[in-house]
Structure 1
Amino acid sequence: MELTRRTFLIGTAGMSLAPRRTGDPFTLGVASGDPTPDGIVLWTRLAPSPLADGGHGGMPDRNVDVEWQLAEDEKFTRVVRSGTATAQPSWAHSVHVEPTGLQPGREYFYRFRTGRHLSPTGRTRTAPAPGTAPALAFGVVSCSNYEQGYFTAYRRLGEQHPDLVLHLGDYIYEYAPGGYKNSDGKIVRSHTEHRCQTLAEFRLRHAQYKTDPDLQALHALAPWIAVNDDHEVENNWAGVHPGTSGRPNFPQRKTAGYRAYYEHMPLRRTSLPHGSRMQLYRRLAWGDLATFHVLDTRQFRDDQPCDDGVRANCSDRLLTSRVLVGGKQRQWLASGLQASRARWNLLAQQIFMAQHDYHLGPGKEVVLDTWDGYTAERDRVLGDIVASGARNPVVLTGDIHCHYASDLLTDFDDPDSRRVGVELVTTSVTSDGDGYDVPAARAIELEENPHIAYADQRRGFISARLTPTELKADFHTLPYVTRRNAPSTVTASFTVADGAHRLSRSNATAARAPQAAAAAAPHR
């Protein structure tokens, strides 16, 4: 029987759930990421006891050889690359392999072996060759809090058969058990002990998340492009400034968080952390169809103004001196956009870019941890996008725990100003629990923010299809995440035509009752 993506997803989940040999080190699954036309990153981590004290996964304090294979078929009768990697205790026995010389635009299968133990099989794909523009199916996810629900959204995204998955941050949450309450206070499954501050605590938390079968299945199904946000280190941290915890020794916590993030994600050696610094902004091409400009909106920013939070009358947020992406990254982005010959330019980043006023009537009330806290930097970046002449800019965003679809304007206070592009914001996988649907609140969203076309505060993901002529984005929502196996429903669909720079709502969803976020600012 031919192995379809759906049967592969089901089979991968089966391997994750089925009993494995005692001492099996592949309890955290496999993953791949950052595809290029001739290469890919392959990842695993050895951890026979993933939640063992100390964060070492039950592994001995010595190097371990791990064999790897990459094949053209799922039975591994046509192996095209193979080798041996060394899993080192200093890197939590994680393995990052970067095979090259592969064929562009094709699927491969990979696996690892150490001793008598064989890993689950992963499926991956290289990027298409330059000069080609085949259609791309991709998913966008963000914000998965283990305590607040089951990761069913990952499984439902896998059932959409993506070629590529974008994870835009908050892959883990750093809080102590019960430290982040949603509106009903419900805890579905408890975090590992302690608030994450040490390397051992971050390793344990990542390992706990990686044991989730739905997360493992999506990792094994398709390559990921991943970037962190704040909770991989600490809520609302900014540059050299700690976040809302107010705890000392922030550089040490940041060093530990970055190291554990690298150890558990399919990232290239170019992202290897150096102390409290890590190279995360990068560019990946998908043939001539799309270029992904991956931004880092945490590491180079000024501190949030006016003591952070949701504020009105914060004049400091308007200061022209305030930066978010920083001068070097901004120049990198502007140069890349100017040089881009891709049909679509997708900016994968973490925080809400469009203006979002939560106050009905005169004045503005905004979330200062978003681009609204850095308005001059937003104006500069949007101006750079316009000046570059880059074709079809689309901003892809996470963080806010709500679905949003917006037009990006040169002047958000003038609805008739120039359209720069569009922003598609994915809601959370689980963060804030089941979520809710409040249609009446949509009036506030639209009256104060006419550039916002859609809002929904339930959990879910975005599934998108990109062709040379059109981007189509389906917003999927789940009715609940505090119970297992929720279905997903497409509650809105939008298209962006080549050259349009604006959203168009599809006929399939235009007639549906509008979904809306709550009027209150989100709890993040």
Structure 2
Amino acid sequence: MKKANRRGFFKKTGISLLSLMAIPKIFAHPIHKFLNLVSRSTTGVYFTNGFKIAEVGKDSVMLWTRLCGQEFPQPVRHERQEKVFRHPIDFDEEQPVNEMDGAVSGASGQVRARILDSSDQIVWTSDWQQAQLEHDYTVKMSVKGLQPATKYRVHWEAKPLDGGLIRKEEGSFATAPSEQDPVPVRFTTSTCQYFWSFDDERRGFQTYDSMRRLEPDFFVHTGDYIYYDKPGPLAKNLEKARHKWHAMDGWLSLRDFYRRVPLYMVKDDHDLLKDDMYRGKGPYGDLTFDDGLKLWYENVPIEGKPYRTLRWGQDLQVWMVEGREYRSENTMEDGPEKTIWGEEQKQWFQETVKASDATFKILITATPVVGPDREKKTDNHANESFRHEGEWLRGFLSGQGNMYVVNGDRHWQYVSKDSETGLMEFGSGPVSDCHSQGWKEGDVRPEHRFLRLKGGFLSVQVDRNSGKPEIRFEHRDVLGKVVHEERFEG
């Protein structure tokens, strides 16, 4: 829509600025300039960055939210380049952060949450907790004492520090079943999302809406949730880095998804600082490795170690591992001492996998274990630079019954089978088609059982067919259509 047509557009559709104030959307160029008048509020607090229900177990859950000082994010006003990643055109990196596309200001206030069962009985309630500038107005709550395989609703309330209007939101989730229950389960994974790679101008990412329609039991984001080191802005200080989280969590598709689907998050390099990051590589502008860690734990609902395992009924157990906090320098000479996971995590992983009696076991990792990957890369277990630990890991995993790898990081969808061990790996691909790059079309290697240079997500379903456990891996496009499937019996 061109400038000359704007007045006619509003007249024709009957939309006024006052009516737009009631519509919680991030509008794309060019009607954004009208919305600058209504995107902020100077009174009250809002859930503009939504909330997250995370780390769901048999009897526990983590809750997260951020109190905001404006009802809608700043609108998207920049056009984008017509090439991979869709970088913004003529983006002023020095403009005030609170005026940037997608910006959401924080607000001091108080927030509490209640959890109700299916009969509307309150089974848990928090105290009023203060959202403070020190933590970017984020609040995390740890909930214990829930029942397995039970549906719950979450009621949120927020208010300014001096009282006033109470803002309310609601979500729902179900806890994991006990280890003895042979119940069906479906979960989804995705990776690599950059604010400017959105493919829906109003809602953000089609993949999230497609996953929501599948009603998965939980979702695992396998890393590169944001990109500090991509423009619009380049996050070279704390304020701009925090903005990256605000803008991403302001998209409607993410907010609606997290209302109903429990989340688990695994970090990768771009979530921490910059490409192929490890401690000692150096800062990114004024942002240090420790700054990156602080921001991660500020925005991710998790407590305890960043590596953990989730048991979901009799037939499924997943392990989510940490690949940035404990790794050796990528440039270090390879050998027994070079590691991505660190000895403590490796020991924990081996012990918990060996102790598991789940029918199917899945390692979820931010980076590949099998690959193939590009020869020039030096960052993961599929690369020559970590061959020693990679060979150990592939050997260990292939020695377990019914164990598979699901990974993020790569900007294409694939299924591969290691030629030496037979270990199978499933790469979900990036969240949108315009984020896909890094592999040549038609470059199918012997390891590949499936290769697609597009975005989308991975859906994993465990069920019983005539009493026999079965696992199904489905690669789907951004609209949710199945483009490849692999099935295995347990």
Match of 2:426 among 413, 420, 424: 424
Say whether the 8 Å CA contact 1:198–1:256 is kept in structure 2. no
Q: CA separation in 1, counterparts of 2:284 and 2:52?
A: 33
- Per the alignment, residue 187 of structure 1 pairs with none
Alignment of 1:219-238 (within 5 A): 219-238=258-277
- Per the alignment, residue 454 of structure 1 pairs with 450
TM-score computed with the length of structure 1 as normaliser: 0.72
Match of 2:294 among 256, 259, 284: 259
Alignment of 1:341-380 (within 5 A): 341-356=357-372, 365-371=375-381, 372=383, 373-380=385-392
- Per the alignment, residue 204 of structure 1 pairs with 243
Match of 1:110 among 129, 150, 154: 154
Match of 2:132 among 88, 91, 107: 88
Deviations 1:369-425 (A, max 9, x none): 2211311101112233355xx4321111011111111224xxxxxx4x442x32111
Say whether the 8 Å CA contact 2:433–2:454 is kept in structure 1. no
User: What amino acid sits opposite 2:281 in the alignment?
Assistant: P
Q: CA separation in 2, counterparts of 1:383 and 1:239?
A: 25
Percent of aligned positions with the same letter in both sequences?
21
Say whether the 8 Å CA contact 2:49–2:68 is kept in structure 1. yes
Question: Larger deviation: 253-262 or 225-234?
Answer: 253-262
Shift of 1:435: 6.3
Deviations 1:43-100 (A, max 9, x none): 111112467858993424xxx4322111124xx8332211224233321221212222
Shift of 1:293: 1.1
C-alpha distance 435-153 of structure 1, shift in aligned 2 (>3 A): farther
User: What amino acid sits opposite 1:404 in the alignment?
Assistant: Y
Match of 2:216 among 145, 157, 162: 162
Match of 1:148 among 194, 197, 212: 197
Say whether the 8 Å CA contact 1:127–1:287 is kept in structure 2. yes
Say whether the 8 Å CA contact 1:16–1:29 is kept in structure 2. no
Say whether the 8 Å CA contact 1:144–1:431 is kept in structure 2. no
Shift of 1:431: 7.5
Say whether the 8 Å CA contact 2:372–2:447 is kept in structure 1. no
Alignment of 1:180-195 (within 5 A): 191=232, 193=233, 195=234
Q: CA separation in 2, counterparts of 1:170 and 1:26?
A: 24
User: What amino acid sits opposite 1:32 in the alignment?
Assistant: I
Shift of 1:137: 0.7
Say whether the 8 Å CA contact 2:412–2:436 is kept in structure 1. no
Say whether the 8 Å CA contact 2:327–2:341 is kept in structure 1. yes
- Per the alignment, residue 320 of structure 2 pairs with 294
Shift of 1:464: 1.7
Alignment of 1:244-283 (within 5 A): 247=284, 253-268=288-303, 270=304, 279-283=305-309
Question: Larger deviation: 227-236 or 80-89?
Answer: 80-89
C-alpha distance 236-323 of structure 1, shift in aligned 2 (>3 A): same
Shift of 1:25: 2.2
Q: CA separation in 2, counterparts of 1:32 and 1:125?
A: 10
User: What amino acid sits opposite 1:217 in the alignment?
Assistant: D
User: What amino acid sits opposite 1:433 in the alignment?
Assistant: H
Alignment of 1:129-140 (within 5 A): 129-140=178-189
Say whether the 8 Å CA contact 2:64–2:301 is kept in structure 1. yes
User: What amino acid sits opposite 1:302 in the alignment?
Assistant: S
Shift of 1:113: 0.8
1:367 partner SS: coil
Counterpart check, 1:381 vs 2:435:
no
Unaligned stretches of 5+ residues in structure 1: 1-13, 178-190, 271-278, 307-315, 359-364, 409-414, 479-486, 499-524
User: What amino acid sits opposite 1:475 in the alignment?
Assistant: H
Alignment of 1:116-127 (within 5 A): 116-127=165-176
Q: CA separation in 2, counterparts of 1:104 and 1:90?
A: 35
C-alpha distance 340-288 of structure 1, shift in aligned 2 (>3 A): same
Alignment of 1:407-422 (within 5 A): 407-408=417-418, 415=419, 417-419=420-422, 421-422=423-424
Shift of 1:238: 3.8
Say whether the 8 Å CA contact 2:193–2:431 is kept in structure 1. yes
C-alpha distance 451-429 of structure 1, shift in aligned 2 (>3 A): same
Counterpart check, 1:67 vs 2:107:
no
2:357 partner SS: coil
Deviations 1:142-190 (A, max 9, x none): 111111223111111111111100100011110353xxxxxxxxxxxxx
Q: CA separation in 2, counterparts of 1:167 and 1:385?
A: 22
- Per the alignment, residue 477 of structure 1 pairs with 477
C-alpha distance 425-172 of structure 1, shift in aligned 2 (>3 A): same
Match of 1:466 among 444, 462, 481: 462
Q: CA separation in 2, counterparts of 1:204 and 1:436?
A: 27
User: What amino acid sits opposite 1:423 in the alignment?
Assistant: E
Say whether the 8 Å CA contact 1:402–1:427 is kept in structure 2. yes
Deviations 1:289-320 (A, max 9, x none): 222211111222222249xxxxxxxxx55x44
Deviations 1:478-512 (A, max 9, x none): 3xxxxxxxx342211111221xxxxxxxxxxxxxx
Say whether the 8 Å CA contact 1:348–1:396 is kept in structure 2. yes
Q: When the two structures are aligned, how many residues end up with a matched partner?
A: 412
Say whether the 8 Å CA contact 1:142–1:167 is kept in structure 2. yes
User: What amino acid sits opposite 2:65 in the alignment?
Assistant: T
Q: CA separation in 2, counterparts of 1:341 and 1:94?
A: 38
1:331 partner SS: helix
2:179 partner SS: coil
- Per the alignment, residue 397 of structure 1 pairs with 407
C-alpha distance 153-355 of structure 1, shift in aligned 2 (>3 A): closer
User: What amino acid sits opposite 2:249 in the alignment?
Assistant: K
C-alpha distance 326-59 of structure 1, shift in aligned 2 (>3 A): same
Q: CA separation in 2, counterparts of 1:16 and 1:110?
A: 21
User: What amino acid sits opposite 1:473 in the alignment?
Assistant: F
C-alpha distance 384-398 of structure 1, shift in aligned 2 (>3 A): same
1:159 partner SS: helix
Deviations 1:263-294 (A, max 9, x none): 222223x2xxxxxxxx3111222133222211
